[in-house]
């Protein structure tokens, strides 16, 4: 079964700092990759996704992620964070086949941005 690992549990940054959140997955076949964001007190929302093609994908609010197949990684980046980016971020993998549409989520990374 596939698994997803997010390296950092809690990241604390000041506004305008650059962000990179790590995500690694374990599955040797074709995958679809997602990043979700959960703002305080809210439900999860899709931030961006990768299915095929250009390994650098852009999402909402200036976020982007790069799929590196050889490293089984899908790291999330943002050049300059804002206070409003304070949230929990989840990486997720869909492995297809008999997964019956099930996404496997990482443990989540809490991002705190200080003004």
Partner 1 sequence: NAGVTQTPKFRILKIGQSMTLQCTQDMNHNYMYWYRQDPGMGLKLIYYSVGAGITDKGEVPNGYNVSRSTTEDFPLRLELAAPSQTSVYFCASSYNPGASSGYTFGSGTRLTVV
**Phi first, then psi: what are they for 23, rounded to 5°?**
-150, 125
Cβ contact 111:81 at 8 Å: yes
Instruction: From 13-21, 56-64, 73-81, 90-98, give the range in contact with partner 1 by CB under 8 A.
Output: 90-98
Considering only residues 75, 94, 111, 113, which one is a binding residue for partner 1 as defined by CB under 8 A? Answer: 94
For residues 15 to 54, the per-residue mask of contacts with partner 1, x marking binding by CB under 8 A and - elsewhere, is -----------------x-x-x-----xxxxx--x-x---
From 85, 84, 43, select the one nearest 76 (Cα to Cα).
Answer: 85
Return the C-alpha torsion angle 27, 10, 59, 29, nearest 10.
0
Binding residues for partner 1 (CB under 8 A): 4, 6, 9, 32, 34, 36, 42-46, 49, 51, 90, 92, 94, 96, 100-103, 105-108
């Amino acid at each position: 079964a596939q698994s997803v690992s997010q390296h950092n549990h809690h990241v604390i940054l000041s506004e305008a700092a650059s962000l990179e959140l790590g995500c690694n997955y374990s599955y040797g076949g074709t995958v679809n990759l997602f990043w979700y964001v959960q703002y305080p007190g809210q439900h999860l929302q899709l931030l961006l996704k990768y299915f095929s093609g250009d390994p650098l994908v852009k999402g909402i609010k200036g976020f982007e992620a790069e799929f590196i197949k050889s490293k089984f990684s899908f790291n999330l980046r943002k050049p300059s964070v804002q206070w409003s980016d304070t949230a929990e971020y989840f990486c997720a993998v869909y492995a297809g086949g008999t997964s019956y549409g099930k996404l496997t989520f990482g443990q989540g990374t809490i991002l705190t941005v200080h003004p």
